[in-house]
Structure 1
């Protein structure tokens, strides 16, 4: 009888190879199969053993090539064949990574699971841009939220609690809904002049940045979107950013639906 293997749930970090943890690298290099997401860079995949089986299961907004249920089955099947499986995810597997869902599925089938935490995109952004997540006098806390719901469900965030000028708000996976997010935050009390920094492909050679404000970010992203994945940082800490914004050449006037709110 083939002994059951195990699954390493590995955070690959925000993109740069040198931001992987030592534990993540060690787990990856002992893997016999690597099940990896769309956001894992080719440079990180190249660190896997040459003999390892590579299994892509990437998902993009509105295009789930491999549904989550099937990903769970793939991980279980590989482990039940006796393999050491690396489940490689961008960022951290326990921050919007569905790592806990996969772990529960595997553990229910008697498959051992362990974790390698990864630097999440917000922390990578802070290091790459110099924009802190907290700063004395500007932000006493930070909150991470997801900017979309599965299968197109309504974005029902607690807007009143999120509209806190003393808290930095980081929006993951929000490119498609940033206009709605900005509008609802302003309705809940945040000022339109609050600065916003959008960063695409953070910490990678493909990184792009755009400096804006809450009452303009939706319009600007609609006119000239950044390529996914895009992280949005909303709050007074963005005023510390020293970089140049991507030129947009857009008018200051807002669409009527936003200007009237």
Structure 2
């Protein structure tokens, strides 16, 4: 199918979980024709190096809340509208999928308010990429009835009744943006007598050359990982499916240390000078 983009228009695109080969064909075609790209932090630098036209303007609008160094959402909204009203094709490029734990609603509302045409292009979200590269089918028969995508970046985000339900459910739980509160999360579920046949997995920098997977029982988590500072981004998987990792993992933990994604400082992105794209099993 021939994909020809139109302007003025904003394309909200998911770039996938890290591995540059996990971006969709449609996304690549649109990126190659864009006039302006507003790029998040968790986007592979190889995607920009490989698919973006040299004449395209790239504006980094990264967010890294743990460092209090984020581009204000209001500024991103303004850039989208201003460039579109200049009769340009604008790509709003986000890591993972654009609709999972992103500010897409704010962006859709402002585009609608200013009558700017838009299109949503889905991507592989971090949970699916991380689970696949860790050998953990999220809804494996006999291990899980369904999967929930959650976040726990502040304590009041989940009610007491919901915590009780999470402790007893057979669903696989995937927590985004929760590594900073991981010890509290684990302690809460232990207090609510979470089942002993469930385990915890923390997947650092999933699908990238720096991917590492750490697993533990609830009883041993504090001793094993209570004081560990996991690299960003890290995804947390809780459930019986974590037990499948040891048997079906096909990618060894990375031997090299480092950060794959760019870091945010003073509202801008600092490039990582080292790019590694060889995936050793």
Structure 1-normalised TM-score? 0.85
For 2:46, the equivalent position in structure 1 comes to 43
Other structure's SS at 1:241 match: helix
CA–CA separation in structure 2 for the residues paired with 1:69 and 1:11 = 20
Q: Is the 8 A contact 1:17 1:43 kept in 2?
A: yes
Q: Is the 8 A contact 2:168 2:195 kept in 1?
A: no
Name whichever of 220-229 and 118-127 sits farther off. Answer: 220-229
Q: Deviations over 1:65-89 (max 9, x none)?
A: 3111111111111111111011000
1:21-41 C-alpha deviation (Å, 9 max, x unpaired): 111111211111010111111
Q: In the superposition, relative to structure 1, how do residues 217 and 82 fare at CA in structure 2: closer, same or farther (>3 Å)?
A: farther
1:122-153, Cα deviation, whole Å (9 max, x unpaired)? 1101221110101111111100001215xxx7
Residue 186 of structure 1, CA deviation: 2.4
Match of 1:55 in 2: 59
Aligned to 2:114: 109
Question: CA–CA distance in 1 between the matches of 2:43 and 2:58?
Answer: 12
- Displacement of 1:225 in angstroms is 1.9
Native 8 Å contact 1:186 1:192 kept in 2: no
1:226 pairs, out of 230, 233, 251, with 230
Classify 1:42/1:138 alpha carbon distance in 2 versus 1 (closer, same or farther; 3 Å): same
Q: Which has the higher contact order (CA 8 A, sep 6+)?
A: 2
Count the aligned residue pairs. Answer: 241
CA shift, 1:8, in A, is 0.3
CA distance in 2, matches of 1:245, 1:205: 9
Query: 3-state SS of the aligned residue for 1:143?
Result: strand
- CA–CA distance in 2 between the matches of 1:4 and 1:44? 22
Alignment of 1:13 with 2:6, yes or no, is no
